[in-house]
Amino acid sequence: MLRSELGMSGPFTPWVHPLADEKESFYFSGHYWGVVAPALYPLAFPLRVWRWLHRWLRGRRLFVFEGCASYLSSPWAPRLVAAVTPRPVLVVCLREPVEQHRSWWRLEQASLAWAEELRLGRRWLGPPHRTAGYPPKSFREAVLLSRSAEVGAIWRRADELAVGPPLRRMPAWALPFPNGQLSAFDRMGRLADSIERWRAIFGAHRRPTQTLPLPPSRPPSPPLPRLPGMLPGSECFVFVSLDEIVHTPGAVLSAIAAKCSELHGEGNGLADCTAAADGLRAPCKNASAPLPDDLAPDELTQFELAAYYRPHNERLFRVIGRDLGWHNDPHRYPFYHPSPGVSIAMSRDSEWGLGTTPGSGPGSRTDLSVSAASDSSLCLVDVL
């Protein structure tokens, strides 16, 4: 939609796959043999002659973007992005964590099935850069692995990569996530922690922009006061929920265009593009096949996850300044509303306790639908 409706340009990507589709380069995830040097990142975007031609024909500079689910929870990504561009518009797409985990599990199972069809098997995912027993055999095992002490220690090593000068090459053990994609559930689900990590780099000294549609004719805001140690663009965030992208994409595009205008003074042309976007439908390109019963997420683990994430979600709502309604929709998010026969005891963040009525158990199957849309992610927008 950023390309077709707002005329932006996405990055080059070597992956010929609908998941990428000129949307994400995966550069700061280390997919280019571990290279993440900020000085090479502009090579993923149009050359200077094309940018000059665009400005001559359109009367404004070219806006470019990259939307990558990996960047939001990667501890090293904020400093690398800041080294490339200190004034991006950061569009944070927020998805309810339990639904996100189910979607991510299904996506990774499809990737494993693809690897097995190529006769790579699953050994290629194992040690030395993965813990013994990786990949986990069930959804519950993957969740518990992501919260284990061993994986926690690996992620603390990853946090240290964000300290000091920006990296030029990622260590192999951290690619593309510390201990692999199926060890990232817990980091992905604690969205407020990820947002605060980005705000610590790009700064935020007043309430972030919300996702209500802004009038296209709104004049650019005056420059924000610079605080000591704060990079430019302290109000560079636009928070959108997955539901808003699916049901009101025109309003989301208007909010992004308004923020571009506010930060760069050249977004008025983008806002004009959203005038006829009321009937726009968000595309869905990354649907995975349904999982067999033995791999499908079990219902009780989802109830446990919902109880665990409820306080983290409430903290997220305070950080972004509004409630996204995840806890109040039993039809869309039934795992926040367990039946009277299920009792969930939460002792500590790292421990789960579960009790059930006779006839139920950890292997019980749920028929909750999984949306085939994007996971929680971060989209970078800048002007060249």
Q: Is residue 328 over pLDDT 50?
A: yes
Encode pLDDT of 166-224 as tens digits.
888 999 888 888 888 889 999 999 999 999 999 988 875 334 343 333 333 333 333 33
Say whether pLDDT at 381 is over 50.
yes
pLDDT on residue 69? 83
Whether 139 has a pLDDT exceeding 90, the answer reads yes
Distance CA 375, CA 352 (A): 25
pLDDT, residue 312, reads: 96
Q: Is 206 exposed, middle or buried (0-12, 13-18, 19+ CB in 10 A)?
A: exposed
Over residues 106-127, the pLDDT tens digits come to 988 887 777 777 776 655 555 5
Answer yes or no: is pLDDT of 352 > 90. Answer: no
**270 pLDDT more than 70:** no
Of 143, 95, 76, residue with least CA distance to 332: 95
The three-class DSSP label of residue 239 is strand
- Residues 117-145: what's their mean pLDDT? 77
Global confidence as pTM: 0.79
Cα(46)–Cα(28) distance, integer angstroms: 18
Residue with tokens 């663009």: 233
Q: How confident is the model at residue 375 (pLDDT cuts 50, 70, 90)?
A: low
Residue 17 banded pLDDT, cuts 50, 70, 90 = low
Q: Cα(12)–Cα(383) distance, rounded to whole angstroms? A: 16
First to last CA, the chain: 19
Contact (Cβ atoms closer than 8 angstroms) between residue 360 and residue 341: yes
Tokens of 286: 């990354």
Confidence of residue 316 (pLDDT cuts 50, 70, 90): very high
Model pLDDT for residues 300-309, shown as the tens digit of each residue: 999 999 999 9
